[in-house]
Amino acid sequence: GIAIQAIDLVKNYGTGSNMVHALRGVNVSFERGKFTAIMGPSGSGKSTLMHTLAGLDSATSGHILFGGADLTRMNDKQLTLLRRHKIGFIFQSFNLLPVFTAEQNILMPLTLAGDKPDRAWFDLLVETLGLKQRLNHRPNELSGGQQQRVAIARALITKPKLVFADEPTGNLDSVSSAEVLGFLKRSVNELGQTIVMVTHDAVAASYADRAIVFSDGRIVADEQHPNAEVMN
Ligand code: ADP
Ligand code: ADP
């Protein structure tokens, strides 16, 4: 089945002669349980697509179908609930809260929603991501790779079916990148999650089941089983 689908999605920024056409009528669907990479040059619309699909940013026109509903018809309250319960977002900059420990950061989405953690799921995430010995550390006491893994655990703690990752390995060395990508791939294979990841890196894209390439607000290539050589 399809996890999320964009139909004729248009996003313009600004008005008049300053208008930027970030998405020029994008049609794409993402299959459930698949890991898709989105590639393309800087400024081609990758982040805009992800932010729009995740309900972080509104579309100019078009439709986004998710679980039988159209995101473009939802109000802010509905979008907040959707992001809280159904969609996970992993940012390149981690966005961890510095005064809180790793554990508190991971649990933050539940804390904010007033929901109780599923301890077994928390333990599994922490174990799988190799964070067990780091739970009482604050972000500045963790390496970049550890911080990104905390951010991943935080994105997954609510068990979202759909996860967006914006350059999740952009700030990591190659060893940490491989760990993070390996985890995302396993999370797709073992938990049936749908992951959409923006990346510049052909090696990172080679972990995905599919790679979509953007250019100037349009999809210009769509490859199954991308390998690093082809994508470069
Ligand atoms: P990518 O993620 O591929 O680098 P973006 O989606 O960030 O591309 O940007 C697509 C286009 O939209 C670019 O021309 C960018 O400058 C423009 N853009 C992105 N965000 C904004 C914004 N908030 N205001 C104005 N223009 C924006
Ligand atoms: P749905 O009710 O949407 O069909 P499932 O039957 O697939 O959901 O999921 C059953 C339980 O497993 C739910 O409690 C859900 O929170 C949990 N779950 C679903 N997907 C995941 C996932 N990717 N990771 C962790 N837990 C999940």
Q: Write the residue with the smallest CA distance to atom 26 of ligand 1.
A: 13
How does pLDDT run across 56-91, given as a tens digit for each residue?
899 999 999 998 899 999 999 999 888 888 898 888
Site to probe by mutation for ligand 1, drawn from 15, 19, 20, 167 as the one with most ligand atoms within 8 Å of Cβ, is: 20
- List residues near ligand 1 (CB under 6 A): 13-14, 20, 22, 40, 42-48
Q: How confident is the model at residue 161 (pLDDT cuts 50, 70, 90)?
A: confident
pLDDT, residue 2, reads 94
Average pLDDT value for residue range 18-41: 96
Does ligand 2 lie within 6 Å of residue 189's CB atom? no
Judged by its nearest atom, the ligand closest to the C-alpha of residue 217 is 1
Half-sphere exposure of 90 (CA within 13 A, CB side): 32
173: Cβ–Cβ under 8 A, 6 or more apart, which residues? 144, 145
Q: What is the residue type of 228?
A: A
Q: What is the residue type of 225?
A: H
* 198 within 8 A of 47, measured Cβ to Cβ: yes
pLDDT, residue 98, reads 95
Q: Three-state SS across 34-75?
A: CEEEEECCCCCCHHHHHHHHCCCCCCCEEEEEECCEEHHHCC
pLDDT, residue 230, reads 55
Judged by its nearest atom, the ligand closest to the C-alpha of residue 40 is 1
Site to probe by mutation for ligand 1, drawn from 10, 48, 201 as the one with most ligand atoms within 8 Å of Cβ, is: 48
> Could you give the ipTM of this predicted complex?
0.70
